[in-house]
A = this chain, B = another copy of it.
Amino acid sequence: MAGNARRPGLSVTSRALALLGAFDSTHPTLTLSELARRADLPLATAHRHVGELVAWGALVRATTGHYEVGQRIWELGLLAPLPSGLRQIAAPFLQDVYKATSVTVHFAVREDVKALYLDRISGNDAIPVVSRVGGRLPLHSTGVGKVLLAYAPDDVQVRVLGGLTRMTRYSITDPEVLEEQLRAVRREGYAYTQEEMSLGACSLAVPVRNGCGEVVAALGLIVASLDAERTRLVAALEVAANGIRRSIGARSFSQ
């Protein structure tokens, strides 16, 4: 079996996983040969494993002949404890914020040096944003990201501050300016951005803590400007963050 594999050291399980891992948000559909290439497997090997993955429901073959991730993986993913547990607890509170504010609401956790968006609520009249549930955005240019960065371990802060990418012309790329903002986040209890990720979109965000007081997530919203409404919007976020904290209680979500 190893004889026909380009990566003979790779186990069969790993080959199947390599095929699943060939899909990402920029490659949601793949032909068999694209799949084989991205998984670094010979076509015949890929074909055999893909057949089993389709039979199980991990992949589906679309009418175009392309392969896509199957619904069974979606269902299985809903059992993942961090995203789905924390997200389920937070979901009704996000709804409350949306009902009170009618603007896009974000819920994110830190994953290394990125903000991972666990949930987003957005109506048809929302300002267009670049976030995507399951997607990642930089910590320094998003409201939820600045909150998560302000409470991240030192080594994470050092790495992020060492490479501040310009996302728009308003992104903060000076580490000293950002450090001052992170101190303000810890002092004031909320973060803001002004068109630092997308032009036309500003954000406000607050920390979400667990029962032990650790910051485990961030709750934010997107507005066209930060003018008059800031106090009211931050208050709505804080009420929701406190509600989430009480619902998390002694449960063991932590970063």
Contact = CB atoms under 8 A, between A and B. Distances in A.
Contact of A76 (B11, B16, B23): B23
A81 B69 contact: yes
A20 to B, nearest CB: 6
Interface stretch (A94-102, A146-154, A192-200, A202-210): A94-102
Interface in A19-34: 20-21, 23-25, 28-29
Given A56-B14, A73-B76, A76-B23, A81 B28 contact: yes
With most chain B CB atoms within 10 A of its CB, the pick from A13, A95, A126 is: A13
Interface stretch (A116-124, A211-219, A228-236): A116-124
Interface residues of A, number: 55
Contacts of A165: none
- Secondary structure call for the A interface: helix
Contacts of A29: 81
B95 A71 contact: no
A177 interface: no
Interface in A28-44: 28-29
A21 B56 contact: yes
Given A11-B52, A52-B11, A252-B63, A71 B78 contact: no
A79 interface: yes
Given A14-B56, A16-B17, A83 B76 contact: no
A79 B69 contact: yes
Given A63-B252, A71-B83, A77-B77, 8 more contacts: A16-B16, A16-B17, A25-B79, A73-B80, A74-B77, A92-B126, A95-B121, A99-B123
